[in-house]
Amino acid sequence: MLPLNINYSFNYGIILLILFIFLIISGLLSVIFYNNNLDLSFFNLILNSFNSFFYFLLRFIHNNSANLFFLFIFFHIFKSWFYTQSKNFVVLILGLIIFFLACAVAFFGYCLPMGQMSF
């Protein structure tokens, strides 16, 4: 028998896992199309996006998965604040460290060489 306080908010962890798998797969597939030439990196990014529907769909999936990933991280953190006890302070600190590391990875994944930003 399940406890009475379990609700749909306990699914945030598995949703984060699925989104993380989508992010890893779409990120690795987008590396195939990346060009490391400093002069052509942004140009090839836009050119591949317009010439190939698969690449546009890949960027769309990766972008939306990243946005949903951070949305569900917020939901997961707020759920843990409301449903856990104060004795789990170490778990809360580790979760916040993971959150700030995810923010750093997302920021540095958004930057292209020489200060160019991908849109």
Q: Residue written as tokens 């984060």?
A: 16
> Residue 2 is encoded by which pair of tokens?
């399940």
pLDDT in tens, 75-87: 888 887 777 766 7
Q: How confident is the model at residue 24 (pLDDT cuts 50, 70, 90)?
A: very high
> Looking at per-residue confidence, does 64 or 111 come out higher?
64
Work out the average pLDDT over 60-78.
Answer: 89
Residue 88 sits at φ, ψ, to 5 deg, of -95, 40
**Other Cβ atoms closer than 10 A to 49:** 18
For the whole model, what pTM was predicted?
A: 0.75
